[in-house]
């Protein structure tokens, strides 16, 4: 029993140290697209929700520009619902699956107006009942728009890096989310997505991660890493 408790304490200490270092490092890097939209719109829940929906399997630069084009034309549920489907498609192109996303946006706006008085829900159950909204999007909205400290948002970057660090041994982002609640101290839950996504885009890449320049390499188990990339710039914490 004592050995298990000791291992858990050491693991928590390692996670704390990694998150602390990453927090310092990502301050010098660009925020993910949905974070930028939140900054632009002062964390407006509706626009955070729509941007998060657009961001799925889409590069940040594309998400950011598509979101800004859409909100310039229609920034509320009523306004988007008033657009023709083809117009929404043109505004959000070239986000991935833009036709499906355009349909989901219209349906979500209809649901918000019909069921929620136009307001974005504040619970996981209500959010995932909206068209095209899964746990990742719902967690992101709860964290960014509503300041929740009880959620962890897991996308492909978080899933990959959490496994690479050795924090979890999981096969899906959904399983990773559940596992991380037991591994990461709660003080870091709202920051997991921001820190690991930013790190994953710049350093801990899916292919050829920049391990030699990584500021947490001494604490990383490098699970599954067979080849690494090279960079002439130190990316980490001195």
**What is d(CA 58, CA 238) in angstroms, rounded to the nearest whole number?**
32
Determine the pLDDT at residue 124.
Answer: 98
The CA–CA distances, whole Å, from 69 to 24, 61, 64, 102, 147 equal 32, 12, 9, 14, 26
Token representation of residue 63: 């998400």
Domains of the chain: 2-30+151-219 (1.10.1670.10), 33-144 (1.10.340.30)
Which residues are identified as catalytic? Answer: 136, 155
Q: What is the DSSP secondary structure assignment for residue 30, as one 8-state letter? A: P
Determine the pLDDT at residue 238.
Answer: 42
Token representation of residue 96: 């991935």
Residue 69's nearest CA partner among 45, 49, 87 is 87
Which residue, chain included where needed, has tokens 């101290």?
185
Determine the pLDDT at residue 5.
Answer: 54
Determine the pLDDT at residue 2.
Answer: 53
**What is d(CA 237, CA 215) in angstroms, rounded to the nearest whole number?**
5
Local confidence pLDDT in tens for the 238 residues of the chain: 555 555 555 677 899 999 999 999 999 999 999 999 988 877 899 999 999 999 999 999 999 999 999 999 999 999 999 999 999 999 999 999 999 999 999 999 999 999 999 999 999 999 999 999 999 999 999 999 999 999 999 999 999 999 999 999 999 999 999 999 999 999 999 999 999 999 999 999 999 999 998 999 999 999 999 999 986 554 544 4
Give pTM, 2 decimals: 0.91
Residues 6+ apart with CB under 8 A from 192: 19, 152, 153, 154, 158, 180, 184
């Amino acid at each position: 029993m004592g050995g298990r408790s000791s291992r858990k304490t050491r693991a928590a200490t390692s996670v704390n140290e990694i998150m602390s270092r990453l927090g310092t490092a990502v301050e010098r890097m660009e925020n993910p697209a949905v974070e930028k939209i939140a900054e632009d719109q002062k964390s407006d829940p509706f626009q955070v929700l729509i941007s998060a929906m657009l961001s799925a399997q889409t590069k940040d630069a594309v998400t950011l520009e598509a979101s800004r084009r859409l909100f310039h034309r229609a920034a509320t549920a009523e306004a988007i619902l008033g657009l023709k489907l083809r117009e929404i498609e043109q505004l959000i192109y070239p986000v991935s699956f833009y036709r499906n996303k355009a349909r989901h946006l219209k349906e979500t706006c209809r649901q918000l107006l019909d069921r929620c008085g136009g307001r974005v829900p504040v619970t996981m159950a209500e959010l995932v009942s909206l068209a095209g909204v899964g746990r990742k999007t719902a967690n992101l909205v709860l964290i960014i728009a509503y300041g929740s400290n009880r959620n962890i948002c897991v996308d492909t970057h978080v899933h990959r890096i959490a496994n690479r660090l050795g924090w979890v041994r999981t096969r899906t982002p959904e399983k990773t989310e559940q596992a991380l609640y037991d591994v990461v101290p709660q003080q870091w839950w709202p920051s997991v997505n921001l820190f690991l996504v930013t790190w994953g885009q710049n350093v801990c890449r899916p292919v050829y991660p920049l391990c030699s320049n990584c500021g947490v390499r001494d604490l990383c188990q490098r699970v599954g890493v067979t080849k690494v990339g090279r960079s002439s710039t130190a990316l980490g914490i001195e």
